[in-house]
Amino acid sequence: MNYISKNNLVQLLEILKKDYQVYLPVKKGEQRFYDRYTTFTDDIVIGEIRPFEPLKAFFTPAREIVAEDFKPDIPHSHDKPFAIVGVKACDLKGFKVQDYVFKDHDYQDPFYMKLREENLIISADCTCTIDTCFCLSLDVKPYPQENFDINLSQVTEGYIVDVGSPRGQTLVEKNSSLFEDVKEKLISEREEQRARVAGEVEENIEKNDIPHQDALNGAIEKKFESDIWKNEAETCVECGACNAICPTCHCFLLYDQKDEEHMARLRIWDSCMIKDFARVAGGANPRPELWMRLRNRFEKKFDFFPKVADVYACTGCGRCILACPAKIDIREVLKKLTER
């Protein structure tokens, strides 16, 4: 454990800029968005809460070329890798699902593998909450515990630094003059802050009566034929925003595009809420009704992934609650799933 002052962190970011495209959260109105770092400005928020965009955007871009002009090799970006700063614990949990799909199961995606190997993660503790945060229900603490290179806990005038990987260790060692020992009183300050933020999340959970994930074990199977799905789907407009904004959703679509000279195969994010998502050759569709697709979204997150990868594919980030134009609230659905 080390300490880095704010001024020295700015110096570290300047050093990182040489080898990485550095992105960090910038506050615009009430939201925080990842922005390319050029110089340290007052609207940069390394603490606070998760940015608007899910972290997956840096590892599986919303749209990317995966093959070109019948070339046998895969297209390579010549840009520098990303150093993503201020990543929150709820997004880091997303790796448990994304890694299962693209890296650790039966297939290794070369694009994802490359970005996982090259990108640097500088995560940060949450220093506040909003009323849609419910990470603790999904066993995610509001401060990172794994899947980062280094983590920053904001304290007076600077940050406590935890190292989480050999790459993080090398970064600290190479720039050791920027780091110093942590004073005891700062460690206490961090503990108090962590307890305060966790307390705020607990309050959200209590106020909204959100079940803990343990209570969801078997709940989808029990409520598979329930009216929940039809009732909830009544207002859905099939926009797919809930999938796009989610740090664990990962489904994609391949399509070809050509002009007079070139041909390319592209991969874009897909959404299981869209009618044609599961349509197969001949036009058959196993989920023709919208409520079936809504049920499938919850089944995948709260039944399929716990069974195959021992992880609930939700991090409690609350993004889908705010993104849904139909005001379909995952907290309400989870509550209904556990009601007798």
The contact set with ligand SF4 (CB under 6 A) reads 236-242, 245-248, 273, 314-320, 323-326, 328, 330
The distance of closest approach from Cβ of residue 296 to ligand SF4 in the complex, given in angstroms and rounded to an integer, is 12
Name which of 16 and 138 has its Cβ closer to ligand SF4: 138
Minimum CB distance to ligand SF4 smaller for 53 or for 109:
53
Which of 122, 124, 125 lies closest to 200, judged by CA? Answer: 125
Strands 63-68 and 21-28, bridge-based pairing: unpaired
Nearer to ligand SF4, 85 or 324 (CB): 324
Q: At its nearest, how many Å lie between ligand SF4 and the CB of residue 183?
A: 36
Cβ distance to ligand SF4 smaller for residue 159 or 302: 302
Query: Amino acid identity, residue 112?
Result: Y
Nearest approach, Cβ of residue 186 and ligand SF4 (Å): 31
Give the shortest CB-315-to-ligand SF4 separation in angstroms.
4
Minimum gap (Å) between residue 309 Cβ and ligand SF4: 15
CB-wise, 59 or 159, nearer to ligand SF4? 59
